[in-house]
Amino acid sequence: MPSVVKINVLTVSAEMREELERRFSGRAGVVESADGFEWFELLRPVDGTDRYLVYTRWRSDEDFKRWTESQAFQRGHAQAAAEAGQGHGHGQGPAASGAELWSFEVVQSTGPAPGA
């Protein structure tokens, strides 16, 4: 079974970039222990768009689904939830103004040849 890639696409205004990155640098770090978790990257746009990509890769769709329903997911989003709930994150509101989930299956992957 191929791994699956789940990308959360966050729309972040220029003013909120720093705040978003600050939240991620203080992230809970619990996704690392989720069953079936394979990879995470926070990708900052450098081509003038306002969309950050939260790239994650999982052993299977079921593993991803289990994580989104877990306490670890809630804990990993505690800051975002609390600050959204209060209507202010450091007086500025939620860091992302939108979120969209993209789903893929890994068809091929490769890295550099050994010794290259």
93/35 Cα distance (integer angstroms): 32
Nearer to ligand HEM, 25 or 116 (CB): 25
Q: In angstroms, give the least distance from the CB of 115 to ligand HEM.
A: 33
* DSSP symbol at 41: E
Q: In angstroms, give the least distance from the CB of 108 to ligand HEM.
A: 21
Nearer to ligand HEM, 43 or 99 (CB): 99
Phi/psi of residue 17, each to 5°?
-55, -50
Q: Which residues bind ligand HEM (CB under 6 A)?
A: 6, 8, 10, 20, 23-24, 27-31, 40, 54, 56, 76-80, 95-96, 99, 101
Cα-to-chain-centroid distance, residue 39: 10
Nearer to ligand HEM, 15 or 114 (CB): 15
Q: In angstroms, give the least distance from the CB of 83 to ligand HEM.
A: 7
List, edge to edge, every strand of the sheet that includes 37-43: 37-43, 51-58, 4-11, 98-105
